[in-house]
């Protein structure tokens, strides 16, 4: 191997080691800070049963685990979907900027937010 080839190999090796080191440090910080437990998108970190409100359970729908879809299941799903569509339609201007207001999102305003 030529001197230039060795230098290129060494440069690549150093870059990979730096990437592994920084990724390891980042994952350690992510785990030690507790943020890993807030990541609800991961399969093992879905809300516990007691965290799900009762009305959420009523609106929740899952298809059959057999993978077969029949007319009855489809009609039941469409009925549940219709409930969600009506809930969105009930909002005043669901696609307005007001839809993201603190009040609409249930974020407390006033003294409580100023204390933090």
The pLDDT of residue 11 is above 50: yes
Handedness of CA 24, 29, 31, 37 (dihedral sign): negative
Domain coordinates in residue numbering, the chain: 1-46, 48-106
With a pLDDT cut of 70, the percent of the chain lying above it is 70
Is 29 a residue whose pLDDT tops 80?
yes
Distance CA 81, CA 69 (A): 16
| Average pLDDT estimate for 73-94 | 81
Position 30 confidence tier, pLDDT thresholds 50, 70, 90? confident
Distance CA 63, CA 89 (A): 25
Do residues 96 and 72 touch, judged by C-beta distance below 8 A? no
Condensed to tens digits (0 to 9), the pLDDT of residues 63-75 reads 667 777 788 888 8
Q: What is the pLDDT of residues 99-111, one digit of tens each?
A: 777 877 778 876 5
Whole-number average pLDDT of the chain: 77
pLDDT in tens, 44-57: 555 556 655 555 55
Residues near 76 by beta carbon (within 8 Å), at least 6 away in sequence: 61
- 95 is written with which tokens? 């696609």
Q: Which residue has the higher pLDDT, 1 or 85?
A: 85
């Amino acid at each position: 191997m030529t001197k230039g080839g060795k230098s290129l190999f060494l440069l690549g090796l150093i870059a990979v080691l730096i990437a592994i080191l920084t990724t390891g440090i980042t994952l350690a910080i992510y785990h030690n800070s507790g943020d890993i437990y807030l990541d609800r998108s991961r399969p093992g970190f879905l809300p516990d049963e007691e965290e799900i409100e009762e009305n959420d359970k009523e609106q929740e729908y899952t298809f059959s685990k057999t993978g077969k879809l029949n007319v009855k299941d489809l009609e039941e799903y469409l009925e549940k979907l219709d409930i969600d569509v009506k809930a969105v339609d009930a909002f005043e201007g669901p696609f307005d900027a007001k839809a993201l207001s603190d009040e609409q999102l249930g974020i407390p305003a006033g003294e409580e937010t100023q204390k933090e």
